[in-house]
Amino acid sequence: MLVLSRKNDESVVVGDDDGLGGTVKVTVLEISHGSVKLGFEAQRGVPVYREEVWERIRTSRLRDPPTGGLDRTGSDDAYEKANVLSGGGHGMSEMRKGFL
């Protein structure tokens, strides 16, 4: 595990801007009363989940293998599952911005 110290308004960038995998920029927005508020910026198509939501998606995929990408409504299966599992899309994905 990499451990870094960051102050308010300082960031960490994860990934490679090679045009293939994408990057995620994590910025410390606020530190208050033992809680840290983080902002996430990711290229469109790079999923960002809270860990408990990611675990539910992963468990669901192990139990029910993907059906092949797009469902008949044209929306992405994994995104829809994450949207439902995270309470209708509330959470980290709302902080997503198109970056880089």
pLDDT at 51 > cutoff 90: yes
Residue 23 lies in a domain: yes
pLDDT at 19 > cutoff 90: no
Total domains in the fold of the chain = 1
Domain range spanning residue 83?
11-95
Minimum mean pLDDT range among 15-24, 38-47, 83-92: 83-92
* pLDDT for residue 64: 78
Tell me the average pLDDT across 73-98: 46
- The closest of 67, 93, 89 to 80, measured between CA atoms, is 89
Residue 83 lies in a domain: yes
How does 22-44 read in b/e, with b if 16+ C-beta sit within 10 Å? bbbbbbbeeeeeeeeeebbbbbe
Residue 89 lies in a domain: yes
Structure tokens at 100: 């880089």
